[in-house]
Structure 1
Amino acid sequence: MTERLGSDTRERLIAAAADLIAASPGEDFSLRAVCEAVGVKMPTLYHFFGSKQGLIEAVIEHGFDLYIGRKSQMEVSGDPIQDIRSGWDAHVMFGLANPGFYTLMYGKVRPGYFPAAQARASRLLRALTHRASKEDRLVVSPDQAASHVLVTNIGVTLRQIVLAEPDPELSRAVREGTLAAITGTGPSRGASVADVIELAAAQAQTLGPSETQLLIEWLRKLEESNVS
């Protein structure tokens, strides 16, 4: 019986949880509702995932599978800086199209917790910054450049998710400022995590005090976890 369940039940449970998360981004979901959607009892869910956190981690993995699958379909220009620019836009588009997945993937911050699936996406970015470094196009180390791009990209995406409204002008401005900062081109002072935090604080009336504080906390913790 376990083998029959294992052939597809695990994936069906992940899909059911993903559907519930997608339907109500940022909200908790019921394990009982997941089981009812698949037509199994609670012990079956615990058999596969051990706990609710185990199921959440499986959904995060599924989210990164979708994200990386879409990025792998992108055309490569051969220019690492242009590919970072395109990757930035794809990252924002994925977050806005999949806020439920995205807030699990990048918005659920716990001290010392770094989902293993997140490393796969980070490797794609670091491959580009290392190529740019070999071409002598960076003024910082490739790892620092990747961290700089990642945390500002995440911050801009989370802000738009919190507002529930795309802001392509903000995304474009922060993207270009970030690229200027890591390449030493354009304005001497590019956008940084501090810039995004400052912008979030300035928009506290729009976001609301609790949402603003949460966004700032996310940004600071993401910067600490990725710069190292």
Structure 2
Amino acid sequence: MDTRERMLHAAADMLARGGRDAVSTRAVSAAAGVTAPTLYRLFGDKEGLLHALANYGFQQYLAEKQTAMTDDPVADLRSTWHVHVNFGLSHPAIYALMFGSTPSREGDRAGREALAMLRDIISRIAAHGRLRVSVDEATQLFYATGVGVTLMLIATPPADRDLDLATTALDHLLRATTTDAEPAARVPGVALRAVALREALRHDDQNDNTLTTNEQALLADWLDRLAAGNPTSSA
């Protein structure tokens, strides 16, 4: 373990035991057996240390969240949702630093990367024709709800926690955003196809040589309105 990693281990231990306020440059330096100038050289200041600590926690988060993907993106969304919540409950202090401080400096990377991972799964749901709203809307809904539920559970004393809340919230979101809980006859086919086509075009490199920039923007606007069930312009 090199000096930098030793200091991050010490800071993570202090964060877990006493929260953000317990992490001081003097205490971390002493616990890691280095001088204060070493910490300043490696991290700049306390905010730089917290930023590095959030990234350090994110590596742990990635290691736990990298579950094998299946052919069912909705099932993958369920499994990664529970991995996310369980990570927060297992590492409450580092989770709060990573997600509870957004959009602060230390929370930025964790938030961006987690959002990108979530969006990839939801894009697959759209490509399968099983998403009832736009990819962007679904991503924001799942991200905001997942982080909010996890932070609320962390803030609740363990004896009072309703661990079924996370599953209940997930079920509500899936019913609102996917077709899995709806009879096929009730699913608006045009809207679903618009969502799927919008996402397919987003990742189609050949489309760049077929449509002009203005045509791509116009088509994207039409597909977004069809996906939302609003084919008429509000202008």
Q: TM-score, normalised by structure 2?
A: 0.71
Aligned partner of 1:59 in structure 2 is: 53
Letter in 1 for 2:126: S
Aligned partner of 2:165 in structure 1 is: 170
Q: Where do 1:22-171 residues align within 5 Å?
A: 22-25=16-19, 27-72=21-66, 74-110=67-103, 115-165=108-158, 166-171=161-166
Letter in 2 for 1:169: D
Structure 1 residues 117-164: Cα deviation after superposition (integer angstroms, max 9, x where no partner): 332222211111111111111111112211111110111100110013
**Which of 10, 27, 37 matches 1:16?**
10
Q: Give, in whole Å, the separation in 1 of the partners of 2:95 and 2:168.
A: 22
Q: Secondary structure at the match of 2:129?
A: coil
Question: Which consecutive aligned stretches of 4+ in structure 1 deviate over 6 angstroms post-superposition?
Answer: none
- Look at both structures and tell me which one has the larger radius of gyration over its CA atoms: 2
- The CA deviation at 1:99 is 0.4
Give identity over the alignment, percent: 38
Q: Secondary structure at the match of 2:110?
A: helix
How many residues are matched? 180
Letter in 2 for 1:182: T
Distance 1:176 1:69, change over 3 A: same
**Which of 176, 181, 184 matches 2:176?**
181
Letter in 2 for 1:12: R
Q: Give, in whole Å, the separation in 1 of the partners of 2:81 and 2:41.
A: 38
Letter in 1 for 2:82: D
Q: TM-score, normalised by structure 1?
A: 0.73
Q: 5+ unaligned residues in a row in structure 2: which ranges?
A: 183-235
What's the Cα RMSD here? 2.0
